[in-house]
A and B are shown apart, each in its own frame.
Chain A
Amino acid sequence: MGMKLGEKVAVESLEVELKAPTELKLAGTLSTPTAQAEFRRLLQDLHTDIVSAKTTAFAVDVQALSFVNSSAIRAFVDWISRAAHAGYTLAFKTSASVTWHRLSFSVLKSLAPATVEIIESRPAVAGGGHPS
Chain B
Amino acid sequence: MKKGHEAERTLTLERRDAALEDAQRFAALAVTTCTPECREAVTLAVCELGENLIKYSGNSDQTHAGTIGVSCDGDKVRVRAVNQVTSLEDAKRVSDLVAQISGSGIDVRDLYRARLQQLFEHPELPRTQLGLLRMAFEGGFRLSCSFAHSELSIVAERACAAP
A-to-B contact residues, CB < 8 Å = 12-13, 29, 31-34, 67, 69-71, 73-74, 77-78, 80-81, 99-100, 103-104, 107-108, 110-112
Contacts and interface: CB of A to CB of B under 8 A. Distances in A.
Contact of A74 (B54, B119, B138): B119
Interface of B: 17-18, 20-21, 24, 37, 40-41, 43-44, 47-48, 51, 54, 109, 112-113, 116-117, 119-120, 123, 128, 130-131, 134, 137-138
A10 to B, nearest CB: 14
B21 A73 contact: no
Given A73-B134, A103-B137, A33 B120 contact: no
20 contacts: A13-B21, A29-B24, A31-B20, A32-B18, A33-B17, A33-B54, A67-B24, A67-B44, A70-B130, A74-B128, A77-B120, A77-B123, A99-B37, A99-B41, A100-B138, A103-B109, A103-B137, A107-B112, A107-B113, A111-B117
